[in-house]
Every structure is written in structure tokens, then in C-alpha cells.
């Protein structure tokens, strides 16, 4: 088993994966394991430090999550974050109480004068940190000292310096904690004495050897869509297992204009054999009369698997299905390895049927979109492929409000093509994170020439984002929107109104369904 320099125990915070991500950015490899991982399994990884994540529970609740208490006897550095801090406090004999003021949002972190902690190295006194907690430490355990405070948290940071145990009430892993990456890096570098040697190249190597090991002499079916994620997965598999990879592209009838040809050309360029399955009719029949978004997703997910199953039976020895599932897909659908709350069931993750017999290979399951792009560059994928906007597995079906029909698909394809053309012509394609049109199935009255019209509405959605977890609507120049709107209304028969979506995520999501 490989040594893991830092282990993150997951107590169910929505932010746990961000801890890992910040460490990766700092060149430190870590693994997230469930909060109750057995001490023997932890020891086997020979960690140099353990981070206890935040979590939604209270340490004094009856069913509070507790780690194997053996972690406190390993004599290696510990860092507790929020709930993790409260666990450390409780374990060593301090007191945690409900806070009078729940603290959510930005706070100024004030170092305690006498503390010259290495954990704060290269980060300023007064830095902004992100708080999100209902409980607080009320009394420190004996050997601990306060290292930082904030307006509402007298113990914003505490430590038992001799034993290398540190804890923060705030979340250094979230974007709004200005110097959070530095603090996590300091923990790794100065407290755990871990070198920053990890990078996307190491990630690629690790994934390739993991794939080789788990696949053995079996074959893997990889569902590709032409998007960055599945192309990166196919490339990893191609390097790992070569001709034991069977790449399948399903033309589900829910693709954008020209997409099938583009994907086929792209895989040719990558030197990966591709089987295209013509299944448009099958999907559309199953989607007939379906208007509920979740039902659409389930039907599409299930049909994909039926097709993969059928294709797999044509060959021998296919036991695995590889997918480009990302962490963003996972966190909103199901808990990754720990007890985080389900937000909504969606993406590849939520749509797979229970009868599926393939074992899944999802090498990107723990990383974010922008990291996948870096990985793609590392693997030598061409820049234009890396820069492609995300396109969801369920395709155009979740961009048509209501039933998916040939006419709505036409409206969507034609309007989307115009929008993409204008975006590319103006140089904005690479400036926005994702852009697409949505057919609203809302009719309104218009006047074209001297005639009254009563036609459908298209919504233009353009967002800026880093990882798809949060997004803001793009502040586009009005002239570009005007050109897109004018062309869609003039060129797409059946559309007489175009609107622009000014909703951010949260509270909206990027896709409409």
C-alpha cells in the first residue's frame, strides 16, 4: 500500500473535498477517509499528519460522529477544523458549548501576541477567515493555548504546540478564507514536515497504475461524450490498458448540431478507437410524454446503461464501466465517503440503475473541473479540446422545459449554434465558463413584419465559474446579447422572444433541470 502523507477524516462537511484540493494545490498528496476509519487502516498508510474535517453535527449530540480514538495516540500532528476542533477539545478534556451567536461568514483573525506559530507563517495578522459554526470552545484542555481569536470566537485558533496538535474554528479550505491555502500548506510543511512534491503528473501516474491494478486482464467499456471529462478518462485508460479499452459514443439524439462528427474526429486525433452507437430513436421513444426533470435523468441514465450492457455482451471479458464523474457531480448526489448531506440526485451518479452489473471506474471522482483541465494538459490533450464548455450527460433533454420533441430539439440546436457562433466570433467563448440556450416552452405574442406571432421563447444562459460548484451569470456586453437575440429570432423559425438568465448558483443551478 502507498504511503499517504496526510489523511483527512471526513465528518460530513460540504467542504471536506476542498481541504484535499487546497493541499493538492500546495503539492501535497492526501486521501479522504470516512470519519470512523479503523486505526489499523490509518496506520497502514503511514501518515505524517491527520486533518479532522468540519461536519454538520454537534459533538455533544447523542449520535455525534467520533473517530477511532487511536488517532490521538499515534503521536503525529493533528489539525482540527470546526467540528474537528471541537472533537479535539472534547477529547483532551476541554469544554464545547452552543454559541450565543451563530457565526456564519467573514471574520477578522487576530493572532495572540505571544504566539509565533509556524502554522501562521507567511500569512498576516488580521486576515479574513470564513466562519460557519453554531458551537464553540468554552474552556481549553490543559495543555492547549489560544493562538488566535476573532470578534465572536475567543478561541478561533488553539494549539498544543509540544504535541503538534492545532485546531481552527474557521474553515481555511474555503475560497473566502484569504490565506487558507497557506495555513494548510504550513500545517503540511512545518508541522507534518511533508515536502511539496505532488502534481497533476503524479496524479496521472497514480491513476494509471490504479487502473492497471484493478483491471488486470479484463476489459473496460468507457462511455465517451466528447467532453473534457470523458476524453481525459479515455486517455488515462488508453495509457493504462491500451487495447483492453473499448470506447463507446452513444448518439442519443440529444446532441448539439454537428456534435457527433466533432467527437468522432476528436477521437481519431487522439488515436483512440471509437464505436458509435446510433440510439436516438430509442431515447426519444422512452422520453415521450415525460416532463419531470428527475424522471428524464433516470430514463436517460438507465438507457445509457442498457446500451452499454448490450455492447459489452458483443465482446468478451468486459467487466468495468469507466465514466468521467467529477466531484461536483458526486457531492450534490450522494455522500462521497463520509456522511455529508444529499443536496439533489443528479448527473451520471444519480441516474444509474440498480441492476447494473459493471464495476465502476471513476478516476476523476475526487477532483474538480479546473483540475481535470490541468490533468488533460498534462496528458497532452489539445488546447481546444480542454477549453470546451461542459456539456451534461443527459444532453439537450435537460435544456428543454417539458417534453422532448423533435421540434423542440430543432429549436434548441438552431439557437445554440447561433449563440456559439457569436460567442466564438466575439472572443467570449473562452471568457465564459459555460454558455447554452434553453427552450422554455413559454409562448408569447410578438409582431414580425405586419404579422402577429405567437411563438416559443429561448433563454440564453452564460455563466462564470471556477469549478461548477458556484457560478455567477456572465456580465456580457449588451451588443453581443443583442446580436444573438436578433439572429435567433430572425433565423430560427418558431422563436419570437429571447431572454437572458440573470440567476447565480446558488440559489439557482447552472442547468435548468
Backbone φ, ψ for residue 81 (5° rounding): -120, 120
> Between residues 266 and 510, which has the closer beta carbon with respect to ligand XMP?
510
Cβ 232 vs Cβ 259: under 8 Å: no
CB of 285 to ligand XMP, least distance (A): 21
Annotated catalytic residue within 82, 117, 192, 222: 82
Residue 311 bears catalytic tag: no
CB of 443 to ligand XMP, least distance (A): 25
> Between residues 130 and 512, which has the closer beta carbon with respect to ligand XMP?
512
**Residue 34 vs residues 59, 92, 326, 391: alpha-carbon distances, Å:** 17, 22, 19, 31
> Between residues 194 and 266, which has the closer beta carbon with respect to ligand XMP?
266
CB of 392 to ligand XMP, least distance (A): 3
Q: Quick one: how far is CA 151 from the chain centroid?
A: 33
CB of 228 to ligand XMP, least distance (A): 10
How far is 390 from 96, CA to CA, in rounded Å?
44
Residue 173 bears catalytic tag: yes
Task: Report angle CA 92, 64, 33 to the nearest 5 degrees.
Answer: 85
Residue 117 bears catalytic tag: no
**Residue 382 vs residues 231, 234, 352, 373: alpha-carbon distances, Å:** 11, 14, 31, 11
Of 221, 274, 213, 273, nearest to 240 by C-alpha is 213
> Between residues 348 and 456, which has the closer beta carbon with respect to ligand XMP?
348
Q: Is 39 helix (H, G, I), strand (E, B) or coil?
A: helix
Q: What's the residue count for the chain? A: 513
Cell numbers placing 129: 477567515
> Between residues 164 and 511, which has the closer beta carbon with respect to ligand XMP?
511
> Between residues 138 and 306, which has the closer beta carbon with respect to ligand XMP?
306
Q: How many CB atoms lie within 10 A of CB 114?
A: 8
CB of 160 to ligand XMP, least distance (A): 41
Annotated catalytic residue within 103, 117, 133, 173: 173
CB of 509 to ligand XMP, least distance (A): 3
**What residues contact 237, with CB distance under 8 A and at least 6 apart?**
211, 220, 222, 245, 322, 361
Residues that bind ligand XMP (CB under 6 A): 328, 346-348, 390, 392-394, 434, 468, 505, 509-511
Annotated catalytic residue within 91, 171, 346, 347: 171
Checking phi first, is residue 126 left (phi over 0); if not, alpha (psi -120 to 50) or beta? Answer: left
Task: Report angle CA 403, 407, 410 to the nearest 5 degrees.
Answer: 115
Active site members: 82, 171, 173
Amino acid at each position: 500500500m502507498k504511503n499517504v502523507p496526510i489523511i483527512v477524516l471526513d465528518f460530513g462537511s460540504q467542504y471536506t473535498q476542498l481541504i484535499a484540493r487546497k493541499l493538492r494545490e500546495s503539492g501535497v498528496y492526501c486521501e479522504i477517509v470516512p470519519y470512523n476509519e479503523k486505526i489499523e487502516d490509518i496506520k497502514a498508510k503511514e501518515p505524517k499528519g491527520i486533518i479532522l474535517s468540519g461536519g454538520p453535527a454537534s459533538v455533544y449530540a447523542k449520535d455525534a460522529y467520533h473517530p477511532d480514538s487511536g488517532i490521538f495516540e499515534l503521536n503525529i500532528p493533528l489539525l482540527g477544523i470546526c467540528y474537528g476542533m471541537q472533537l479535539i477539545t472534547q477529547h483532551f478534556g476541554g469544554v464545547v458549548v452552543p454559541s450565543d451567536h451563530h457565526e456564519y461568514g467573514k471574520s477578522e483573525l487576530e493572532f495572540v501576541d505571544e504566539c509565533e506559530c509556524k502554522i501562521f507563517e507567511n500569512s498576516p495578522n488580521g486576515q479574513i477567515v470564513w466562519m460557519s459554526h453554531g458551537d464553540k470552545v468554552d474552556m481549553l484542555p490543559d495543555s492547549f493555548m489560544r493562538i488566535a481569536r476573532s470578534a465572536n470566537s475567543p478561541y478561533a485558533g488553539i494549539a498544543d504546540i509540544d504535541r503538534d496538535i492545532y485546531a481552527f474554528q474557521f474553515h481555511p479550505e474555503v475560497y473566502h478564507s484569504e490565506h487558507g491555502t497557506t495555513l494548510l500548506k504550513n500545517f503540511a510543511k512545518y508541522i507534518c514536515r511533508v515536502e511539496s512534491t505532488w502534481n497533476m503528473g503524479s496524479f496521472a501516474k497514480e491513476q494509471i497504475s490504479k487502473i492497471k491494478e484493478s483491471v488486470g486482464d479484463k476489459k473496460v467499456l468507457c462511455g465517451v461524450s466528447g467532453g473534457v471529462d470523458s476524453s481525459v478518462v479515455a486517455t488515462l485508460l488508453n495509457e493504462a490498458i491500451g487495447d483492453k479499452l473499448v470506447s463507446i459514443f452513444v448518439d442519443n439524439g440529444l446532441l448539439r448540431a454537428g456534435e457527433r462528427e466533432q467527437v468522432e474526429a476528436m477521437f481519431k486525433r487522439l488515436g483512440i478507437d471509437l464505436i458509435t452507437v446510433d440510439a436516438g430513436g430509442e431515447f426519444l421513444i422512452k422520453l415521450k410524454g415525460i416532463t419531470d426533470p428527475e424522471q428524464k435523468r433516470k430514463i436517460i441514465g438507465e438507457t445509457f446503461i442498457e446500451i452499454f450492457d448490450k455492447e459489452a455482451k458483443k465482446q468478451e471479458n468486459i467487466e468495468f464501466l469507466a465514466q468521467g464523474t467529477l466531484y461536483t457531480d458526486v457531492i450534490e448526489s450522494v455522500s462521497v465517503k463520509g456522511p455529508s448531506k444529499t443536496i439533489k440526485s443528479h448527473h451520471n451518479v444519480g441516474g444509474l440503475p440498480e441492476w447494473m452489473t459493471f464495476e465502476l471506474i471513476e478516476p476523476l471522482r475526487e477532483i474538480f473541473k479546473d483540475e481535470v483541465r490541468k490533468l488533460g494538459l498534462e496528458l497532452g490533450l489539445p488546447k481546444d479540446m480542454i477549453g470546451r464548455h461542459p456539456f451534461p450527460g443527459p444532453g439537450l433533454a435537460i435544456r428543454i422545459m417539458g417534453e422532448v420533441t423533435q421540434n423542440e430539439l430543432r429549436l434548441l440546436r438552431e439557437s445554440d449554434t447561433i449563440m456559439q457562433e457569436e460567442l466564438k466570433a466575439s472572443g467570449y467563448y473562452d471568457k465564459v465558463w459555460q454558455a447554452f440556450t434553453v427552450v422554455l416552452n413559454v409562448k408569447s405574442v410578438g409582431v414580425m413584419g405586419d404579422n402577429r406571432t405567437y411563438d416559443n421563447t429561448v433563454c440564453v444562459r452564460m455563466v462564470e465559474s471556477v469549478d461548477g460548484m458556484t457560478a455567477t451569470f456572465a456580465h456580457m456586453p449588451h451588443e453581443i446579447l443583442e446580436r444573438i437575440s436578433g439572429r435567433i429570432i430572425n433565423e430560427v423559425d418558431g422563436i419570437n422572444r429571447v431572454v437572458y438568465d440573470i440567476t447565480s448558483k446558488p440559489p439557482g443551478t447552472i442547468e435548468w433541470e
